[in-house]
Structure 1
Amino acid sequence: MSRKMSTSALIYAATISMPATAGARPEDELTRSRAWVNKDGKFANPWPSWNDQTPYKIGMGLIKRKFAGKANSPDTTPPTVPVRKPEFLSDRSHTNDKIRATWLGHACYYVEFPSGLRVLFDPVFEDRCSPFSFMGPKRYTESPCQIKDIPIIDAVIISHAHYDHLSYPTVVEISNSHPEAHFFVPLGNKKWFKDCGITQCTELDWWDEVDFTLSPKSSDGKRASISTTGSAQPQEDGITSRISCLPCQHTANRGLTDRGATLWASWAVTTKSPTGSEKKLWFGGDTGYRAVPEEADGKDDWSEEYAHLPQCPAFKDIGKYRGPFDLGLIPIGAYSPRWVMSPMHANPRDSVEIFRHTKCERALGIHWGTWVLTEEDVLEPPRKLKDALKLYSIPEEGVFDVCDIGESREV
């Protein structure tokens, strides 16, 4: 029986193990002391590039913008972002040595690795990203598919607990439809999944990692034997990948009083293709890059006047210690007004900086095109992305791209 036939017909079960050889990480005091963990056990961004604004200040600032006539209400009248029906591989077979990534809207990507691994990032399939089904941001572009349309889900990776990245109905349906799927979450989130009835969940701290091994079940339903290696290594009877939890600049909460109770993260997935070549993907999740002051409102905050603003150092560390990456999934939207959003959301210029620092060879834009969360026009992010790429003489197409919702790209 050919490898293609054997891998496509088998049912796989997951094993989580600590790597025999840990990946490199920064040796600075910030990392050694886990400076992102406060004495009360809550989490905070440890860099001067972060500005921890109070909800009151943000609320009052937005109200003043509205009454001053500065606020923008984005027009969601169609056509906006094209939506197409996605086409997934029906099994684990792969016809080439490339990563195949399909955008399912906002920060959700379904990635088919040539090793056979299938990963879903930040899935939210509901109409509203809200604790309520009757209020809150509603989709202005349709979901391109439903969970039942996805043939294989081995791992679900969650960046943080905000409702546009973590949905109770979605994760429960995934768990029911794909009972072998394993969830990977930042610290503090495992309890939430347990309360949802989901036990196949691993939580990790920044710079921690595990080996995720998919072992085929034998005909009697028992797990077939398979050795665990210290690095991602393809094997005839299984698939081993490295899942790494990495920093980003954001925050997390699900209610009014639990801000910082759980960690936020970016993630890396490393696996090897059947030919033995290593494939690496970085998922940015949701992140800011630098905190822009209110006085810069309406100005070019990348001008010489604001060149002194601190930039988040985490992305250079990620590129140095865990890069380079074949593909980056990098947020480009939900950034206006800048003085409110910049600490936690990257705009396209920030995104290109992050792309360069993390050493991604290619990238696809996420975190836009689905819900109105901020004031920029809904089609502005891809326009500004092209402008930002020009500043570094990076081609407007073929390096850091955006695509239609439901579209697949191969890297």
Structure 2
Amino acid sequence: MTSAIMSAIVSSPTAPSRQPSNVAAKAHHNKHGVGFINPWPSYLERSGPQMMGKMLWLRLSGQWKDPDTTPPTVPVRQPEFLPSRQTGKLRATWLGHACYYVEFPGGLRVLFDPVFTERCSPFSWVGPKRFTEMPCQVEDIPFIDAVVISHNHYDHLSHPTIQRIAKKYPNAHYFVGLGNKPWFTHMGLDDTNVTEMDWWEEKEFTLSPAERGEGDQKQADISAVIGCLPCQHTSARTAFDKAHTLWASWSITSGGKKIWFGGDTGYRTVPMVPEGEFDYSDKYADLPHCPAFAQIGELRGPFDLGLIPIGAYDPRHIMSPMHANPYDSVNIFVDTKCKRALGIHWGTWVLTSEEVMEPPKVLKQALKWKGIEEEGVFGTCDIGESRVIE
């Protein structure tokens, strides 16, 4: 396909996918207040002050360890994006942390959780700073048809980044969880370019050339089905709006390929355990895990590719309700019925206390523990590297 401007139509699916039998109950909607909840015993609710207090105590008691970010850490490459929409294979490029650019067969181009700033913070002068370089700039990406946002935390939703995308790609369409649309329209985006969705909801997304010139006579429309799905996390942009907007994982089907984007999620809540003790041993077998991922696999899987978080998990007793460690990630991989997966949510900012290069090492151990030893089934790649998914 050429670089002709594409116009988008978002509609209800003609053939909706299966949903859980209790979806109408909307258990994740907060019936006693504003916003949303995680409706499973696998999640433990803690307030911001509670978490900050626990982390402060770890620092004061000398138990907190600051990761070493001295180079070399994660290799960074200059991405090689396809110059046209002509591709017969699924292609995914990691742009750091949770940001992936996915090129689908048939021409669809999707950007997930883009943050193209030095810091993931409301301020440019304070907050977590990148320890790896940005592999490119927003303006280097040749096509952006859809931007998918998992939730509104600053390491997943960036005001300066969205401004740049809107300027360079004014026809890009944004898919977000419930409650997030006002943030985009407040920035001046046309509200017809933003679609809010609830868990288990789907939309058909159709792109057509705005004008068909002589070279575009045989150009077909691009179609996709985009699904908003559960995950175990929370949201906030200030100290006063926790869980006011919905967090989500996402599925996209286009060009005969289907992917699942985990965004940011926990899997189970783990208590403080003695140092060196394995929290997946028989001693902790009764800890509940989030049932949503098995539902996703059963009702919407299998997926050709999963983009699954593997980092920001220590201290485990604090972070486990909302961040998966690689053992959790491998269970999520199995539950969601992904055929292959790539790790996200690591290698960019120091958000927690594990060593920055630990997640991919532990991922290999977790795969072996789960009996998944086939090379390349679930791995990681360099920042800026593209992987072709057969």
Alignment TM-score, normalising by the size of structure 1: 0.91
Task: Give the 4+ runs in structure 1 shifted more than 6 A.
Answer: none
Task: Provide the aligned C-alpha RMSD in A.
Answer: 1.6
Is the 8 Å Cα contact of residues 231 and 264 (structure 2) preserved in structure 1?
yes
1:23 aligns with 2:17: yes
| AA of the residue aligned to 1:130 | S
Is the 8 Å Cα contact of residues 365 and 401 (structure 1) preserved in structure 2?
yes
Counterpart-to-counterpart distance in 1, 2:239 and 2:169: 32
Q: How does 1:110-149 map to 2 (within 5 A)?
A: 110-149=101-140
State the partner residue of 1:410.
Answer: 388
Residue ranges of structure 1 left out of the alignment (5+ in a row): 1-6, 226-234, 273-277
Shift of 1:66: 1.8
Shift of 1:400: 0.2
Q: 2:26 aligns with which of 34, 39, 52?
A: 34
Q: What is the SS of the residue equivalent to 1:211?
A: strand
Shift of 1:67: 2.6
Q: 1:56 aligns with which of 49, 59, 63?
A: 49
| Identical residues among aligned pairs (%) | 59
Q: What is the SS of the residue equivalent to 1:364?
A: strand
Counterpart-to-counterpart distance in 2, 1:17 and 1:396: 40
Q: How does 1:146-157 map to 2 (within 5 A)?
A: 146-157=137-148
Shift of 1:112: 0.3
Q: What is the SS of the residue equivalent to 2:340?
A: strand
The CA deviation string for residues 101-136 of structure 1, in whole angstroms up to 9 with x for no partner, is 000000000000011000000000000000111000
Counterpart-to-counterpart distance in 2, 1:15 and 1:78: 46
State the partner residue of 1:68.
Answer: 61
| AA of the residue aligned to 1:260 | A
| AA of the residue aligned to 1:36 | H
State the partner residue of 1:364.
Answer: 342
Distance 1:374 1:388, change over 3 A: same
Residue ranges of structure 2 left out of the alignment (5+ in a row): none
State the partner residue of 2:169.
Answer: 178
Counterpart-to-counterpart distance in 2, 1:41 and 1:61: 26
Counterpart-to-counterpart distance in 2, 1:318 and 1:353: 13
| AA of the residue aligned to 1:71 | W
Is the 8 Å Cα contact of residues 264 and 309 (structure 2) preserved in structure 1?
yes
Aligned positions, number: 384
Q: How does 1:292-311 map to 2 (within 5 A)?
A: 292-295=270-273, 299-311=277-289
Counterpart-to-counterpart distance in 1, 2:268 and 2:161: 32
| AA of the residue aligned to 1:41 | V
| AA of the residue aligned to 1:380 | E
Counterpart-to-counterpart distance in 2, 1:21 and 1:297: 51
Q: How does 1:10-409 map to 2 (within 5 A)?
A: 10-28=4-22, 31-39=23-31, 40-94=33-87, 96=88, 98-199=89-190, 200-219=193-212, 237-272=220-255, 278-295=256-273, 299-395=277-373, 397-409=375-387
Shift of 1:57: 2.5
Counterpart-to-counterpart distance in 2, 1:371 and 1:397: 28
Alignment TM-score, normalising by the size of structure 2: 0.96
The CA deviation string for residues 197-240 of structure 1, in whole angstroms up to 9 with x for no partner, is 112100100000100000112258xxx99xxxxxxxxx952011
Counterpart-to-counterpart distance in 2, 1:174 and 1:370: 21
Q: Which moved more, 1:309-318 or 1:56-65?
A: 56-65
Shift of 1:54: 2.3
